[in-house]
Amino acid sequence: MAAHLLVAWLFLLALFVWGVVIDRQPYSQSGLWTAIHAASLGGVALATSWTLPAFDATLKRIALVLVVLVVWRLTYFPLMVFSGHVASVVEWVLAFLHLPIVVYGVFLLSIGTLHTLVALGAAQIVSPFHPLVYAAIAPVLLMACAVSFAKPADLKLLPDGFRTLADPAPPPVAPTQNPYFSRLVGPGYLPHQRVVLLAAGLTYETIPPAPWGRTVKAVLEVLFNEKPRASTAQRILDHYLSYRSAHPLIGYRSFADYPTPLPPAPAPPAG
């Protein structure tokens, strides 16, 4: 147990340091993509290394590996989004406390920790502590499915193929209006897509006004208004584009310190 904990702490420390390096360098899509995959798959591997020895049957071991990989596929994007939210909150707290700003250190730390915990929970699908474990896990996985598979085009093996970006990143802007809630009761969305709209709208409202987090939110607003009924793959691309747009604002405590005032996000297209 002590050895497992030591490896976990070293893994999380390495992710934090890696993220701090990303903060202090120009934006690199391949660098961020690699770091996110290392954090998420590293967390899965860490959890599996703890739970695998508990299964003495070969079929159960194979089932465990398959289950945690399927759960990783389902939760990759939701945990990426949630970790960005965590990073924005920590950015705001650090700015308020006049402490050094850390964004991607927290982002990767959150991804690695969450995927480790989720993979530990996924092991209970193979051998649950109690029958109610299935009932508890089912709604979580259904929510993850709603986020990860917005359209049939998302039914593919890997969730994130954006190691490089061909699309130009939009300029950083200031948020204008929550683009998600107004579409909750509008036409053109399936029930599971409305669940995603609700989650995105709540996230939009709870992003604090620190420079990096607020700018990511604002650029996502622009990109969503341009393509309001896009696939999950498009949403992942949108997040990377927003990360690239907001990268120059990492380290600033307020927008008053940023040398260029940010214009408001453009209004959504009519119709």
What is the model's pTM?
0.94
CA dihedral 29, 35, 41, 45 (to 10 degrees): 160
Q: Which two tokens stand for residue 23?
A: 């903060």
Q: Which two tokens stand for residue 1?
A: 């147990």
Distance CA(175)–CA(172), nearest Å, equals 10
Burial class (CB in 10 A: 0-12, 13-18, 19+), 119: buried
- Note whether 98 and 253 are within 8 A (CB): yes
Q: Which amino acid is present at 69?
A: L
pLDDT, tens digit, 9 for 90 and up, residues 225-265: 999 999 999 999 999 999 999 999 999 999 999 988 899 98
pLDDT, tens digit, 9 for 90 and up, residues 88-105: 999 999 999 999 999 999
The CA-atom distances, in angstroms, between 153 and each of 27, 147, 148, 193, 240 are 29, 13, 11, 14, 19
